[in-house]
A and B are shown apart, each in its own frame.
Chain A
Amino acid sequence: MTAGSWLQIEPAASSARAKRTIAQRLLATLRREARPTGRPFSLAGRIIASVIVCQLVLTAALTTVAVLYARLELGRGFDAALNGWAANTLAAVRYTETEVPDLLFDPSLIPPSSNSRHPDLFEIRRSNGELLARSAGPLPVEVKEGATYGNFVLNGIPYRAIVLRQVPVLDREENISVPARVTVIYAASRVGLHERLVQLGVSVAGVGLLLLFIVSAVAAWRVRRGLEPLRELAGLAGAISVLNWEFRPPAEASMARELAPLTSAIETVLDRLQQSFRQQRDFTSDAAHELKTSVAIVKSTLQSLLQQPRPEHEYRAGLESMLEDCGRLEDLLGRMLRLARIEQWAENGMNHKLGTTEVTSTCEAAISRIQALAEARNIQIELIAPREVHLQADPEDLEVIWVNLLENAVQYSPPGSKVAIHVESNGGGTACVSVQDSGSGIPEEQLPHVFQRFYRGDPSRSRATGGFGLGLAICEAMVTAYGGQIRAANRDGQGTEMRVQLPIKRYELSSV
């Protein structure tokens, strides 16, 4: 008996093929293909199904072994009993009291049949093969020469027969020197044997199934209890929102070896999310601060003009200053939008096709754009580019980086000094551009922050020159979007160096 046949113990009734049996359903749960398009399933269900299937296999195996063993043992016992019944039948053969003793069969001595429904059959033959006695009907079998036992079916009833060959007939008579020999064939129905085997099988299987039921119930309960930390974890994770970042995994969840990776993953993701959320919020708040200040200036100018009648030249001056302030506001908005756009690129992968650009020419373009500011501050910009460096990039993007770096350098250099921009390629697939100023340098503690948005190391100077603390943030975002790096360093009291490294060939990450 195999697990399969057990599982189909209740075959799908002809009426409802669609109605699958419990076992089939269990198997289906176990097999993944049973959920074609993301049907929800239960982990606990799977575990319990596994337990049930194991238990079923166990029960089936136990039953099979028990039945096989019992058949063997019962068969042996049956054969022994058969032997006994044959001997008893032999005992019914006696000698006559005549001069020459003859063999006589006394039916009254026959023991009762082993099975009342299917009476035993027997046949006794003299040594010369002549029939001495037999039961109601003839035995249908020719018992094979040499075999002691044999099976046959009579009228659909299975029988087992024993043949006792040439056994001596012993009797009370002492004067018989050479006892006569007869052959006894005795057959008994095996129906009783079968019934007992079936009974055994059914009881073993029944106990097995009962156990299965109990074990499944216990397993279901235990699994449910065991998955409790998972549910708790889910509840905690579900309670997290932008207002509440707190996630304290329960001790049980962090101790469970299976849950530890999940717990730590949630913690990591939360940390990252919270950090980026905080950055975003800081950015919004800083942006709002900048915008509010700019709007406050325009508004106060307007209100101040309206407070009392003024001569025409005052109105004109007011309007001119407002126009100037609007330009500043526009510049701020432009920078913020640019920053947002670059970040979007970086997130989605740059989707515009990139040609090859010569770096030095973009530096020249940037210098020409910054020239007016540099001249106003009497600062000389020097371009040092020993050879051409080609880069896979949009020339305008590169120009944005250089303009912002140069603007920053020019603002932080004392009048009359020099700002240098170096272009080189290290031959290893990286282009390197550095901008050096001759300012007082950046205090060491501020170096890590210079690329933060709206960060002003010394607000007085950047404010005074119209900066918002966005230039370097734009540079960093752009360089990062190109897969490069930007670093700020002090040059031993000779000013600051901003070093940009860009990969010459941009890997098409977006196409992956």
Chain B
Amino acid sequence: MRVLVVEDEKRLAENVARALRENAGYAVDVAGDGEEGLYLAESSNYDLMVLDLMLPKLDGPSLLDRYRKKGHATPVLVLTARDEKENVVRLLNAGADDYVSKPFDLGEFLARAKALVRRGKGQRSPVLSVADLQLNTIERTVKRGQKEIALVPMEYRVLEYLAHRPRAVISKSELLEHLYDYNWEKFSNVIEVYISGLRRKIDSNYAVKLIHTVRGHGYVLRPERERT
């Protein structure tokens, strides 16, 4: 998952980004003002935007307004110091999906962020399951049947992204875009390395294979028997 944090208080942005990276395993980009935020939001596909309201150059509500008017559906979590009712109502009506008021609890913030990401992918439960594969997005653990499977962080992130949209074919470039922030040099063969690692840990000992390659298109997570 890839998150955009638009926050001008550098320290707050750092803390939020760090929490998202460490606790949720998301790739995080940080924008220090509204214009940069809007530019980044429009140039990449994010799974979540964290938006402060008081921003230089372009303030949060205007950014949100312009972003939504262009039809972007990425969930937006607003950070606000003004939690008066009218303000909250205006924000939600302007297209925000949720808000936390400053000073917020980092745990609550993370829970709301994860919930928004889930909902953005059409998932309700924090535990994603495909056949007998279970992926707990809160504890970041993976089980197949009753057996816990240990994954390296990047493998987990690839699997989590696939598991949020089971049965959908996801291209390598999409995976690259959503798993790395813009500071990373992106090499598509990295994805192949992680996919083969995942196959070894998840599929090799089981009759029903879950990870499949659709040649020329990408990867899909689904039980083998559905294949015709």
Contact = CB atoms under 8 A, between A and B. Distances in A.
B106 A289 contact: no
Contact of A300 (B16, B22, B56): B16
Given A307-B106, A463-B9, 10 more contacts: A292-B101, A295-B102, A296-B103, A299-B103, A299-B105, A300-B12, A300-B104, A459-B56, A460-B33, A460-B57
A340 B28 CA distance: 41
Interface string A435-479: 000000000000000000000001111011000000000000000
A296 B57 contact: no
B12 A297 contact: yes
21 contacts: A289-B81, A290-B81, A292-B102, A296-B79, A296-B104, A297-B11, A299-B104, A300-B16, A301-B11, A303-B15, A303-B106, A304-B106, A307-B22, A307-B106, A308-B22, A321-B11, A459-B54, A459-B55, A459-B56, A463-B56, A464-B8
A289 B53 CA distance: 11
A460 B56 contact: yes
Nearest to A300: B15
Nearest to B105: A303
Contact of B12 (A296, A458, A464): A296
Contacts of B104: 296, 299-300
Nearest to A304: B15
Contacts of B16: 300
Task: Please report whether the interface of chain A is mostly helix, strand, loop or mixed according to DSSP.
Answer: helix
A289 B82 contact: yes
Interface in A215-263: none
Given A307-B22, A460-B33, A460-B56, A301 B102 contact: no
B19 A300 contact: yes
B23 interface: yes
Contacts of B23: 307
B32 to A, nearest CB: 8
B153 interface: no
A293 interface: yes
Interface of A: 285, 288-290, 292-293, 295-301, 303-304, 307-308, 321, 325, 458-461, 463-464
Interface in B14-32: 15-16, 18-19, 22-23
B106 A292 contact: no
Contacts of B8: 459-460, 463-464
A174 B103 CA distance: 142
A292 B101 CA distance: 9
A297 B15 contact: yes
Contacts of B9: 293, 296-297, 463
Interface string B76-101: 00010110100000000000000001
A289 B106 CA distance: 18
A321 B12 CA distance: 11
Contacts of A300: 11-12, 15-16, 19, 103-104, 106
A121 B56 CA distance: 123
A298 B79 CA distance: 15
A285 B22 CA distance: 34
Nearest to A301: B15
A458 B103 contact: no
Nearest to B55: A459
B11 to A, nearest CB: 5
A464 B8 CA distance: 8
